[in-house]
Amino acid sequence: MALQRVKATLIEFAIVGSFLLETFAVWAQSNSIPSTNSSTGAASGSVSAALRHEQDVRTARIEGRRLICGRILDLRPEGLIVESGYTNLLREPLSRSWLIPGTAEASRAQNLIESKTPGAICVGQILLTDTPKGKKAAKPAKYDYVIVEAYPAGYYLYTSAGSVQRSLRRFSASLVAAVQRTLEAEKKERVEAPGEGTRPTRN
C-alpha cells in the first residue's frame, strides 16, 4: 500500500510539473513576441525612411540636372573647372562627342540666362566630376571643350590665380555619384552639427 501511495504521489508531481512548464512556456512566448515585433518594426521603419530620403535626393538631382557645354579652364584633382555657356558647341559634328579639342571654333553666348528647367544649359564656372574614363576615352586638356549632361552634387571651393577663392557649383556626370556625394555631405553635416534635425535636400 505504501508503495502505491508513493507512485501516486510521484504521478501527481509529474502532472503538476508538466502543467507548470507549459504555463511558463506560454507566458514567456507571449511576453517576448511584442518586444521582437517592436524592434523589427522600428528597424523596418528606419530603413524605409532612409530609402525614401535617398529617393528624394535622387529626384532632386534629376530635376536639377544641367547641360554643361563649355571650355575647360583648369584641371584639378577633384575634376574639371569649366566655363559653361558655349551654346554654339551644340552643333554637328561637335555634339557627337563629350570632349572636343581646343582647336574647335566656339564662343560663349552673351547675355545667356540659365533656366531652372531640368536639362537647361548651365551658365558660369562650375566643377565637373566623374567624366567618362577608360582606356579608349580621351583625356581632357586645358582649353578643350566639353558637352556633358551632369547632376548637381554640392559646391566646391576653388582657389584660382593667387589666393582668390570662389564657391563653385559642383556637377557630376554620374547620377549615382551625385546622389552618393550628396548623402555623404548630409551625413557629415549631421556629425558636425548634431541636434539640429534633418536639413533640407540641396540642389
pLDDT of residue 131: 95
The number of CA neighbours under 13 Å toward the Cβ of 18 is 6
* Region of residue 158 (phi > 0: left; psi between -120 and 50: alpha; otherwise: beta): beta
pLDDT in tens, 140-178: 999 999 999 999 999 999 998 778 899 999 999 999 999
List 70's β-bridge partners, or say none: 84, 146
Mean pLDDT of 35-50: 69
Shortest CA distance to 63 belongs to which of 111, 117, 112, 16?
Answer: 117
Tell me the pairing of strands 165-172 and 145-159: antiparallel
Distance CA(73)–CA(84), nearest Å, equals: 10
* Domain residue ranges in the chain: 1-63, 65-192
Distance CA(122)–CA(65), nearest Å, equals: 9
Mean pLDDT of the chain: 82
Are residues 184 and 99 in contact, defined by beta-carbon separation less than 8 angstroms? no
Mean pLDDT of 44-53: 84
Mean pLDDT of 16-37: 48
Mean pLDDT of 14-33: 47
Does residue 84 sit in helix, strand or coil?
strand
CA angle 31, 33, 34 (to 5 degrees): 80
Confidence of residue 10 (pLDDT cuts 50, 70, 90): very low
Shortest CA distance to 129 belongs to which of 165, 84, 91, 75?
Answer: 75
pLDDT of residue 106: 93
- Please, which residues have CB within 8 angstroms of residue 68's CB and are 6 or more apart in sequence? 82, 84, 122, 126, 128, 146, 147, 148, 149, 150, 171
